[in-house]
Structure 1
Amino acid sequence: MNTRFLATFCAVAEQGSLVGAARQLNLASASVGEQIRALEAELQTRLLARHGRGVVLTEAGHAVFAAARDLLGRVEALHLLARPGKLSGPLRVGAISTALISVVPPALRHMAERHPGIELRVVPGTSAQLLRMLERGEIDCALAPRPHFALPKRFRWSGLRDEPLVLVAPAALAGETVAGLLEAAPFIRMDRASWTGRIVDGFLRDHRLAPRELFELDAQEAIVILVAQGLGVALLPDWGIAAPAQGAIRKLPAGGPRYARSLGMISAGGVREGLVQAFATALRDGLAEPRAKVALGADDQAVAPRSPR
């Protein structure tokens, strides 16, 4: 049996379409279809069924998919054993958007310098999306905030850094405190259903703050741009927030360590654990390097809890 055909089948199963798998594998769609048909002919069963514009696994397809992933992992482990001391092979890393523009670039530089044999692919997504990808075996590790619930036992959490909650405001907006600015300006809210949004909600609830909401979205970089354009203020974890090309901002600490977002890596072990740990080392080495910071103004203060009313 051709393991390359099994790898193609797994890509189709994960992508939900031949076109998506072809794009991922850098193959022609016709070639992907030929490999799937050859595999089905060899196994004498249908593995995929059409569903809308994509495909879904048949009952036999689900069984073969699970076995194929296990087999491909064992084949990969054999390749690693044949090259002791030299890390190589594919590594799929999921990352939230703020990690992509902060901690990931230095880590990729270290990986390119130290482990040129590792074929590293970075997959963007929200925290919830990345966890689902990890559960389905579509990625090997994920850079995401620490979840507010217990992870499945097969997953391991490794903390990287704490990102303190800050109020981001237009530089020209007058105000002395976080509470005062939240009362004076419209509030641009991080999606309350997101893991980070829950931290923001907890801060507002604990401090009995009810700002006037203007927008709610799950895109922190876009929120910073809206703030810089003078549309309002926002509460965000400080992942290295800097002013965009157009506009100026300032940041005020909010709430202290209790409301910090813990950024880390979620992984599931397995045959690529050595590659995952190499990437974790690259991440920590990148974090140890100096990074650009936005200076806090002289009036930066932490908010004080309101008295009940």
Structure 2
Amino acid sequence: MNTRFLRTFCTVADRGSLAAAARHLGLANASVAEQIRALEAELNTALVVRRGQGVALTDAGQAVLGAARQIVVQADHLRHLAQARRLTGRLRVGAISTALIAMMPAALRTLSQQHPDIEIKVVPGTSAGLLQMLETGEIDCALAVRPPFRLPKSLSWRLVRDEPLVMIAPSTTERQPIGAMLAGAPFIRMDRNAWTGQLVSRFLHDRRITVRELFELDAPETIVILVAEGVGVSLLPDWGITPPVGRDIHMVPIPDPKYARAVGVFGSRGPAATLIDVFASAVEETAGAS
């Protein structure tokens, strides 16, 4: 039985339409339809039926889906076992924006030197979005912020580093206690729905600091630019913050480690585990060096 056809069938089941599966797999719609027909002919039963603009699984399709997924996973596992000595393969890695700047370049350089046969595809995103992509199998691992809830057992976690919370202010701001500086100037807030934003909100709540909010956005690099331009002050994790060229900022660390942001590698427990471990080691090595 062709495992490629089984993989296509599983993708159709996940995506809900032939067209969506084709886009995800990088195939023509006709190729996906042909593979499904070939699989149905081999099993002598219909697996999908059209429903509106998409497709639904038949009773037979539902019955074989679980076994099909297991076969695909085992096929991937065999491939990785065969390549274990020379560590070749493709790894789909998600990363938050600050990690793309601060950690990924050095880690990718290390990987290219130590394991040149590993192909890496990097996908940017938010921590929450990358976790969702991991759970749906769109990526294999992610360099992101640890969530404020328990991870599912299907995922592994490896801490890379803790990033302390810091207050940043324009360089011309008069030096005062942190609470007074935060309350006395317009505040540029990390999106409170983001995991980093929740950390900031907890600090403000615990210290009973009332701020005058000016902007709220999930874009820490943009916040640094706004602060450097003199627009306001902010609280951010220190991922290696640097002001724009020609500008300066005042940065005051928050000494309490309970407000530090934990950044690490999420990984799916499966056939790509060895490659994920190699990637996590490269990130850990280069992050520690920096």
Structure 1 vs Structure 2 CA RMSD: 2.7
1:215 equivalent in alignment to 2:250: no
What is the match of residue 298 of structure 1? none
Q: Deviations over 1:126-145 (max 9, x none)?
A: 22222222222332222222
Shift in alpha-carbon separation, 1:15–1:282, aligned structure 2, 3 A? farther
1:50 to partner: Cα distance: 5.6
1:58 corresponds to which residue? 57
Q: Which has the higher helix share?
A: 2
Preserved contact between residue 14 and residue 138 of structure 1 (Cα < 8 Å): no
Quote the Cα distance in structure 2 between the aligned partners of 1:168 and 1:27. 48
Q: C-alpha distance in 2, partners of 1:74/1:271?
A: 8
Pair 1:204 & 2:204 matched = yes
2:176 is the alignment partner of 1:142: no
CA distance, structure 2, for counterparts of residue 108 and residue 253 of structure 1 = 29
- Distance in 2 (CA, whole Å) between partners of 1:217 and 1:50 is 40
Structure 2 match to 1:272: 272
- Give the Cα–Cα distance (whole angstroms) in 1 for the partners of residues 95 and 50 of structure 2: 31
**What does the per-residue CA deviation read over 1:190-243, in whole Å, with 9 as the maximum and x for residues that have no partner?**
111221111101110111101001111222222222222322111110111111
1:178 counterpart letter in structure 2: I
1:81 aligned to 2:81? Answer: yes
Q: Counterparts in 2 of 1:43-192, with a 5 A limit? A: 43=43, 44-47=45-48, 49=50, 55=54, 58=57, 64-192=64-192
> 1:283 corresponds to which residue?
283
Distance, in Å, in 1 between the alignment partners of 2:187 and 2:71 is 51
* Kept in 2: contact 1:203–1:255 (CA 8 A): no
Matching of residues 216-295 of structure 1 within 5 Å: 216-245=216-245, 247-290=247-290
Q: 1:7 is matched by which residue type in structure 2?
A: R
Q: Distance in 1 between matches of 2:76 and 2:271?
A: 7
1:4–1:219 Cα change, 3 Å: same
Deviation, 1:2, is 2.3
Displacement, 1:29? Answer: 4.4
1:7 maps to 7
Using structure 2 for the length normalisation, give the TM-score.
0.86
Identity fraction in percent: 54
Alignment of 1:21-40 (within 5 A): 21-40=21-40
Q: Given residue 228 of structure 1, which amino acid in structure 2 is its aligned partner? A: A
Between 221-230 and 241-250, the greater mean CA deviation after superposition: 241-250
Q: Please give the alpha-carbon distance, in whole angstroms, between the structure 1 residues aligned to 2:127 and 2:201.
A: 17
Contact 1:130 1:142 in 2 (8 A): yes
**Distance in 1 separating the partners of 2:55 and 2:223:** 37
Q: Secondary structure at the match of 2:265?
A: strand
Counterpart CA distance in 1 for 2:219 and 2:189 is 10
Aligned length: 288
Report the residue type matching 1:266 in the other structure.
F
| Contiguous gaps of at least 5 residues in structure 2 | none
Q: Note if contact 2:186-2:232 (Cα within 8 Å) is conserved in structure 1.
A: yes
- With normalisation by structure 1, the TM-score equals 0.81
Aligned pair in 2 of structure 1 residues 98, 17: CA closer, same or farther (>3 Å)? farther
Structure 1's unaligned 5+ residue stretches are: 291-309
Shift of the 58–217 alpha-carbon distance from structure 1 to 2, 3 Å rule, reads: farther
CA contact (8 A) 2:95 2:144 kept: yes
SS at match of 2:289: coil
